[in-house]
Amino acid sequence: MTSPKTAVVTGASSGIGAATARQLAAAGYHVFCAARRRDRIEALAVEIGGTAVECDVTSVESVAGLAAAVGERLDVLVNNAGGAFGASPVSAADSDEWRQMYEVNVIGLMQVTRALLPALLASGAGAILNVGSTAGRIAYEGGAGYTAAKHGTQVVTETLRLELWDQPVRIMEIAPGMVKTDEFALVRFEGDREKAEAVYAGVAEPLVAEDIADAITWMVTRPPHVNIDELVIRPRAQATHHKVHRVT
């Protein structure tokens, strides 16, 4: 009996990460659910038959613990941990919020990738999928810190693909647009539910976490010679970042 394929999903405690862990498990993967909130990932791991690993991607020591838990072989890495904090213009930017966004969206992604790359290569057909954003392709007022960080996610992805061109690992990015989850906007606006709900106001069908998880699962389960370099995914109602059909 062959061992099941394995996958790591960071930021697995909620939203896109939790949905992706569920869908990869349904596709036959043993999923290492990595996040800071142990209670949530332990419940998720029990639900899907995976393994919970408490991990802060911005900590080298914590990421080393994740690599130790995974072991010598890994098939799929989904770098999903990330986030947006604040929406101030550059003139009133909070330096700590900017550092936090760069740490989790870029440095954290690098540290997890660096630690798990040997195991991915050892699989003979590894896949790294970075969860970026349409914010990594545009600019908008009040979003400079987040867009700068997500541009970083995109460029790290492109650089990895160049550096690992002759290695048995695919490098991919998914760039979602408007996705309504329980926490993303609420965290960004520091718990201000009115501001968070205004982001999605009047949009009949924004994307949800399961839509992104479905796309991620499709991308990583293509044959090993098929690399989906990047997939930009938006709800039908969102033509671009600033042009959204809202029913009032």
Question: Which residues are designated catalytic?
Answer: 146
Strand partners, 129: 78, 172
Residues 6+ apart with CB under 8 A from 91: none
Q: Provide the token pair at 66.
A: 């994740």
Rounded to an integer, what distance in angstroms lies between the CA atom of residue 87 and that of residue 93? Answer: 8
Name the residue among 2, 59, 12 with its Cα closest to residue 34: 12
Q: By three-state DSSP, how is residue 86 classified?
A: coil
Rounded to an integer, what distance in angstroms lies between the CA atom of residue 216 and that of residue 218? Answer: 5
Are 234 and 134 in contact by the 8 Å Cβ rule? The answer is yes
